[in-house]
Amino acid sequence: MSLSQSGSGYSNFSSERQSHSSDLPADVYDYDGEDAELIHEYSDSDVEDDDDVEEHTQHSLSARLSQWVAGENITNSSVDHLLRVLHDYHPDLPLTYRTLMDTRPHQIEISKIEGGEYAHFGILSGIKTVEREILILGVDTVEYQVNTDGLPLFRSSGLQLWPILGRVVGTNSPFLIGAFSGSCKPPNAEQFLRPFITEALELSDVGFMLQGVHFRAQISCFICDAPARAFVKQTKLHSGYYGCERCIQKGEYVQGRVVFPELNSERRSDEQFAKGDYSSHQKNMSPLLELNVGLVSCCVLDYMHLVCLGVMRRMIFFWLKGPLHIRLSARHVAVISSTLVSLRVNIPVEFARKPRSMSEVDCWKATEFRQFVLYTGLIALKSQVKSKIYEHFVCLSVAMHILLSPTLCHHYCDYVDQLLHVWVKDSMKLYGKHFAVYNVHSLLHLPDNVRKFGNLDRI
């Protein structure tokens, strides 16, 4: 890319270069000095081939650039701009910061495990990709979140991928820890999680070094959907009678579904879970218990699946296809859809998607359900649904606004706890007892997550 094409990016590079010009080694921009002497020395002695001379020069220049970047704390984007400019004159130089600083793993061992293959990329290699952000945070213990889930790779086969992802708390960049590939989900949780557990224990007990500073790495929480949580915790699925992960109540079978109508059941504890006391809930002892992480309190209920794709989606389906006393008429649905579509011109670019008609609700994504429960639903449903249903919906919207707010969530968490108890109780009166499935019941436990980890967007 020419300098004229790089535009503002080159301007940023120029300002960075000027700001560090006093500390920058002369040989980074002037290759007539020590590098030239080095080339001359090798040409007079051991190096007989011009290609060898050039290769050694590029290696020396890369090493010096790497040392300069590490010493001067240059931003990743500025290094990328510099490397693009230098690439025209030194084609063998790396093109990105990550390659220059040697932060990418070079050799990944793929092992055969039951049901497929597993590749471990490493927690530490992922943490190093956000090394700069960690140093800015100024902490001595790096906390990171862990996620795993399955996804299909092809439509024409059953091959699927189960990655283990991590993210350092306080940063926005997730990284890949490991990945399993097979025709089904990993049959053996122990084999699937063993490399991750081994490295996690080492990073917690021994620690690691970043730019001469010693750190330890500690798991903050596990963020998974309900089936994945049941898999890594080795518990009954959410559709089972003892499927609730936070309380000990036994579900009831109502109209083809297991529901959880009780509002104040005894809560599960990390200590009893670790001892295996919940035999009706636990299928086996989870290998994650070795990590000394509370598998009740630290396996969070993610609100994307719980509220957006769970509760809000279920409410809309009841309005469209539920019992007659709840179902909306075609005229009301058309008015709501028309209102949603009319709001498209007023939705700012910060929203990932524009509102769509209710007729396309089967295709809505989680961000669209989130937008509906927090913003557009308050407008579109006004005067189009019964007052009790609208007030019930507004109650959920207010609760979610508070739990998602970094400033309000702690001050009003107890209030939201009471509010959600009232909401779940009223939902069974409005929609029927069969409405209180796992997702609806688990709203009662969301405030516990907020008390421990902060607002819901953090998890």
Residues 339 and 386 in one domain: yes
Residues 78 and 132 in one domain: no
Residues 56 and 8 in one domain: yes
- State the DSSP H helix or E strand holding residue 395, giving kind and residue range, or none if neither: helix 387-404
Residues 451 and 382 in one domain: yes
**Hey, how many other C-beta atoms are within 10 angstroms of the C-beta on 192?**
26
Predicted pLDDT of residue 198 = 96
Q: For residue 389, tell me if it sits in a domain.
A: yes
Residues 325 and 188 in one domain: no
Residues 345 and 445 in one domain: yes
- What is the tally of structural domains in the chain? 3
Residues 123 and 10 in one domain: no
Render pLDDT for 306-326 as a digit per residue (tens, 0 to 9). 999 999 999 999 999 999 999
Predicted pLDDT of residue 266 = 96
| Domain end call among 223, 252, 267 | 223
Q: For residue 313, tell me if it sits in a domain.
A: yes
Burial bucket for residue 399 (CB in 10 Å: 0-12, 13-18, 19+): buried
Identify which of 300, 122, 299 has the alpha carbon closest to the alpha carbon of residue 217: 122
Predicted pLDDT of residue 106 = 59
Residues 153 and 17 in one domain: no
Residues 63 and 116 in one domain: no
DSSP string, 240-297: STT--SSB-PPPEEETTEEE---SSPPBP-HHHHHHT--TTTBSS--GGGGGT--TTT
| Domain end call among 187, 206, 223 | 223
Determine the structural domain holding residue 137 and report its residue range: 104-223
Q: For residue 32, tell me if it sits in a domain.
A: yes
- State the DSSP H helix or E strand holding residue 330, giving kind and residue range, or none if neither: helix 330-342
DSSP-assigned beta bridge partners for residue 219 = 144
| Domain end call among 223, 256, 277 | 223
Predicted pLDDT of residue 409 = 94
Residues 354 and 317 in one domain: yes
Binned average pLDDT, 10 residues per bin, the chain of 459 residues: 40 41 42 40 43 51 80 81 87 81 68 93 92 88 95 87 95 93 92 96 94 92 95 95 96 95 95 95 96 94 94 96 93 96 94 94 96 96 95 97 95 96 96 96 96 91
* pTM, rounded to two decimals: 0.75
Predicted pLDDT of residue 47 = 41
Q: For residue 56, tell me if it sits in a domain.
A: yes
Predicted pLDDT of residue 235 = 96
75: CB partners within 8 A, 6+ apart: 16, 132
Predicted pLDDT of residue 103 = 55
Residues 96 and 111 in one domain: no
Residues 91 and 171 in one domain: no
